[in-house]
Amino acid sequence: MREAKTIRERIEELKGQRNALILAHNYQLPEVQDAADFCGDSLDLSRKAASARAEVIVFCGVHFMAETASILCPDKLVLMPDPNSGCPMADMITAQQLARLKGEHPDAAVVCYVNSPAEVKAESDLCCTSANSCEIVESIEPGRPVIFVPDKYLGDYTARRTGRELILWEGYCPTHVAITPEHVEAARAKHPEAVLIAHPECLPEVAGMADAVLSTSGMVRFARETGAREVIVATEIGLLHRLRKENPDKEFIPAYAGASCPNMKLTTLEKILWSLEELRHEVQVAPEVRERARGAIDAMVAAGARSD
């Protein structure tokens, strides 16, 4: 009698049948990352989706990420294993709110963090990532007002780095702001030789304590290249799995072990399997929204900015 296939084996079988690609954000559960064809940050994964020959994209992340993949590859079927995987920060601004803010500052350029809904991207002039926000802002002519949405802490970091005064929205990532200076001090007390890396979505006080402020992809590179044997990581704890897996000779310590995004942890292997079996939970962006949102993404690329 043949043994029943494991979930991973059945997923691999269905991937071949559906000509599917599985993408997982760096904050996903370890077993989801291990089942993916690629792990990375949101925009890099969307570009992987756009360049792949796959007909079906299973995006293991949160909703705005799957939307971005749909914007960049409208000819492909983009699926989300759990449609309830939202992003609190992305939900802190709507296109209507941004339109009103633009009305108050009619001469301003709008820079939109990629962690935002498609409709908000469509109301923006340029997108940015956590790695290239400074470069994007610096690409805007001096003296022109700049609206930066939705993350006020990435915006604050960008303003301090560029010396530009930005019009900030009151959005933030609840997971990153949960990491406090007290958490960092406690981690450093236990690991005095460790270097500290922090995501720019963290509180300014935490970012100010870091040896390097980096995007998730920047953290992956830093972990690979650093000579430090211990690294304290101030970001969502899902990234630690990848860092440890790729650098087994180094120790990675969470600045705060409670920095876990519940929405990022909704995707499971079972939900990936169900999504592939039934081709369900498709994410689509209306054509008129997609074209305008794509314009903001293309403008970022035209500015020569890095995407990770």
Mean pLDDT of 95-116: 97
Amino acid at 181: P
Residue 1's pLDDT is 42
Residue 305's pLDDT is 56
Whether residue 1 is contained in a domain is answered as no
Mean pLDDT of 295-306: 82
Residue 44's pLDDT is 87
Clarify whether residues 150 and 292 are in a common domain: yes
Clarify whether residues 142 and 69 are in a common domain: no
Whether residue 308 is contained in a domain is answered as no
Whether residue 150 is contained in a domain is answered as yes
First vs last C-alpha separation in the chain: 49
Supply the range of the domain harboring residue 231. 179-254
Clarify whether residues 107 and 152 are in a common domain: yes
Does pLDDT of 22 surpass 70?
yes
CA distance to 50, 263, 287, 291, per residue, from 302 (Å):
17, 32, 22, 16
Whether residue 49 is contained in a domain is answered as yes
How many percent of the chain have pLDDT more than 70? 97
Helix spans in the chain (H): 7-18, 30-35, 42-51, 63-72, 95-104, 118-122, 133-138, 152-162, 174-177, 181-190, 204-209, 216-225, 239-246, 269-278, 287-302
Mind listing the pLDDT tens digit for each residue in 10-19? 999 999 999 9
What CATH number has the domain bearing residue 43?
Answer: 3.40.50.10800
Whether residue 203 is contained in a domain is answered as yes
Q: Is the pTM of this model over 0.75?
A: yes
Clarify whether residues 11 and 80 are in a common domain: yes
Mean pLDDT of 87-112: 98
Clarify whether residues 129 and 160 are in a common domain: yes
Mind listing the pLDDT tens digit for each residue in 197-216? 999 999 999 999 999 999 99
DSSP secondary structure letters along 180-234: -HHHHHHHHHH-TT-EEEE-TTS-HHHHHH-SEE--HHHHHHHHHH---SEEEEE
Residue 308's pLDDT is 54
Look at 187 and 41; give whichever has higher pLDDT: 187
Clarify whether residues 20 and 72 are in a common domain: yes
Whether residue 2 is contained in a domain is answered as no
Mind listing the pLDDT tens digit for each residue in 234-269? 999 999 999 999 999 999 999 999 999 999 999 999
Clarify whether residues 34 and 159 are in a common domain: no
Clarify whether residues 295 and 162 are in a common domain: yes
Mean pLDDT of 112-125: 97
Clarify whether residues 147 and 208 are in a common domain: no
Whether residue 164 is contained in a domain is answered as yes
Number of domains in the chain: 3
The conformation of residue 171, written as its DSSP 8-state character, comes to B
| 304 torsion bin: left (phi>0), alpha (psi -120 to 50), beta (else) | left
